[in-house]
Structure 1
Amino acid sequence: TWAGLEGLADYFRDKANPSYLMSRMSSNTFSQLMSEYVVGQIIAHERAWRLTDKKQAEVSWWHSDRVASYRSLQDLSVVVLGTGEIGQEIGRALRAFKCHTSGFSRTAHDPAQLQHAFDKLYNGSEGLIAAVSNSDYIVSCLPCTPDTTGLLSASLLQHARQGSVLINIGRGNVVTEEDLIKCLEEGPLAAAVLDVFQEEPLPATSKLWTHPKVVITPHCAGVSRAQDVAATFVENYKRFTTGQPLNFQVDISKGY
């Protein structure tokens, strides 16, 4: 009932791939919830809402340049790492605000099939460097696979645009805490919004908790709601019994 397949991938690691079809019980609503999270976090960062919350608690009328000189979403370039259902919905939502969007995937896709979500597509290692270097926000919704582990290394993130922001709603394996803190303290990252981590719950000893440039949420960007799981099951049952392709099929060999 969630997007990640780590548990199933581990179970089948030393076994033959299943001969039967498998699908997620998550729905399009899951992608909707995650896109809302991304849009909300971008606006909150651009308008310094967390700082104004603190100033309100201090009973302070804080009308500084930080809150008066913000960027509109239409001024921003955002790259979404992962162009599946979730990534496409994030791109579509951002484009509704006139944001310039690009998508990165491991393999090449036909741009015409994704033009509803992305203005530009990147793939491959060189494409990843180009993607992060041309973006104000880097949004990762990548799954946990051997290929994605450590993908956002310090050496890769050094190519990011100065002052860019990383939002991770996929899996925590894509970047190590050490590399992330290095890029926050030495540049080029201005901030990180993290909903997923290498270890969950995030240990109390983690430096991320108190880092001034980090926003932490407890893996809640998208949640599996009972009504959505039930609706997805009913729809897929109808499809299965009438010989139609199932929605939200997964490939254990790929890990997503």
Structure 2
Amino acid sequence: MTQPVIVNQIDPEFGQTLSAHPSLPRVIDHFDRDRPWDLPEDADVLVTRAFRSWLNAPETHDLPALKWVQTFSTGIEIYPDWLMRDRVVTNGRGLTAPQIAEYVLAAMLLVEKDIYGARTTSLDDWGTRVFGTLEGKTLGLIGYGAIGEAVAKRARAFDMKILACRRGTWREVPEGITPCTTPEEVMTGSDHVVIAMPLTPETSGMVDAALLSHAKPGLHLLNVARGALVDQGALLRALDAGQLGKATLDVTHPEPPTAEDPIWTHPKVLLTPHESYKGGLSERARFERKTLANLDAWLAGRPMLDVVDPTRGY
């Protein structure tokens, strides 16, 4: 292939970056956010991101020339099945892991040391405050990919113990990690638990009443992955019953919650609007490097970075 045809759905600046590639691709900027699937018939490559409009895509669509899809997002559940199959798909695994890890540490510190709630504003308010600590506490990771790795790296700096389970096998156990065989084992032994699993048919609703019943009393649950991993009704019941102490949720199901959902105002829930991945522009630079490296590899027939296995869903 001498001049690939690349459809760019990121932004005009990214299109300029692609156009400067040595292969001199023909780059087509396509910013129709309502119908991102309406692609030119001769497109070889699609660079896209998780627009909510992908949920409205037709059930079938024929793009015979399309050979490779590069997504900004890590998860692929929002894209139609026909886009993810019978072609190479590479994702944005790890692009926003540092920012999400910082969010997790901030949330854990807020639970242990609520310095805003402890502030004093007058002599009458001066007095003893009670703080917890992360030192010596146990962090549980349900899922150990790029996000889990980034969270663990930062938690080790706070001298936390770390339990982790993952769907795949451990080729090598990272330093400072105690591997667990089940999510139940993680829940039983942890003070803070981070849900960092991909959403697949197998993992949907996995954090249910049965799993929550294994929670260590007072456990703080954080979900920075996908809302549909958690049975929110069961979560609120566990909080009300005292099985859990707190929950920090950056994702919900549905997203956003319905207007009458009690999760909005629950006193033990900190809810943020799926923004934990934000923080500067470093993820954009990483995405640019990854896409250009994958373009080099694709043109040369070499292995590419972060190829999605559609049978596993990530």
> Which band: TM-score by shorter chain?
0.7 to 0.9
Match of 1:5 among 62, 66, 76: 76
Matched, 1:23 2:90: yes
- 1:213-255 deviation digits (Å, cap 9, x = unpaired): 0001110111484333222211222233344322222111111
Equivalent residue runs for 1:93-242 within 5 Å: 93-110=154-171, 113-116=172-175, 118-123=176-181, 127-223=182-278, 225-242=283-300
Instruction: Quote the Cα distance in structure 2 between the aligned partners of 1:50 and 1:207.
Output: 25
Q: Could you tell me which residue of structure 2 aligns to residue 89 of structure 1?
A: 150
Give how far 1:79 is off.
0.9
Summarize deviations over 1:16-42 as a string: whole Å, max 9, x none. x73432111x26441111111111111
Matched residue SS, 1:170: coil
Unaligned runs of 5+ in 1: none
The aligned residue for residue 61 of structure 1 is: 125
Q: 1:70 aligns with which of 127, 132, 135?
A: 132
Q: Is the 8 A contact 1:79 1:139 kept in 2?
A: yes
Give the Cα separation in 2 of the matches to 1:175 and 1:156.
10
Instruction: Give the Cα separation in 2 of the matches to 1:173 and 1:180.
Output: 12
Alignment CA distance shift 1:247-1:202 (3 Å): same
Using the alignment, how far apart are the partners of 2:210 and 2:276 within structure 1? 27
Structure 1 residue 70, shift from structure 2 partner: 1.6
CA drift of 1:156 comes to 1.3
Q: Do the aligned residues in 2 keep the contact of 1:140 with 1:168 (CA within 8 Å)?
A: yes
Q: Evaluate the alpha carbon distance shift between residue 238 and residue 138 of structure 1 in structure 2; reply closer, same or farther with a 3 A threshold.
A: same
Tell me, yes or no, if the aligned pair for 2:220 and 2:244 is still in contact at 8 Å.
yes
- Partner SS, residue 229 of structure 1: helix
Aligned residue pairs, count: 240
Structure 2 Cα separation of the partners of residues 176 and 142 of structure 1: 14
Q: Bigger radius of gyration, 1 or 2?
A: 2
Identity, % of aligned pairs? 26
**CA-to-partner distance for each residue in 1:71-112, whole Å, 9 max, x for gaps?**
1x22210111111122111112211222111211123313xx
| Cα distance, 1:64 vs structure 2 | 4.2
Corresponding position: 1:80 with 2:160: no
Contact 2:250 2:272 in 1 (8 A): yes
Asked if the contact 1:30/1:222 (under 8 Å) is kept, the reply is yes
Cα distance change on mapping 1:217 and 1:62 into 2, 3 Å: farther
Q: Quickly say closer, same or farther: Cα 1:47–1:238, change in 2 above 3 A.
A: same
Closer, same or farther: CA 207–141 of 1 in aligned 2, 3 Å? same
In 2: Cα distance, 1:184 partner to 1:195 partner: 17
Aligned-residue offset at 1:186:
0.3
Asked if the contact 1:102/1:120 (under 8 Å) is kept, the reply is: yes
Question: 1:158 touches 1:187 (CA, 8 Å); kept in 2?
Answer: no
Q: Is the 8 A contact 1:81 1:105 kept in 2?
A: yes
Amino acid at match of 1:170: A
Distance 1:46 1:60, change over 3 A: farther
Residue identity matched to 2:173: L
Structure 1-normalised TM-score? Answer: 0.84
In structure 2, C-alpha distance between the alignment counterparts of 1:172 and 1:151, rounded to whole Å: 11
- 1:124-173: CA deviations, max 9, x gaps? xxx22111100001100111111111211112111110001000001111
Letter in 1 for 2:297: R
Q: CA RMSD in A?
A: 2.4
More helix by share: 1
**4+ residue segments displaced more than 4 Å:** none
The residue type equivalent to 1:51 in the other structure is G
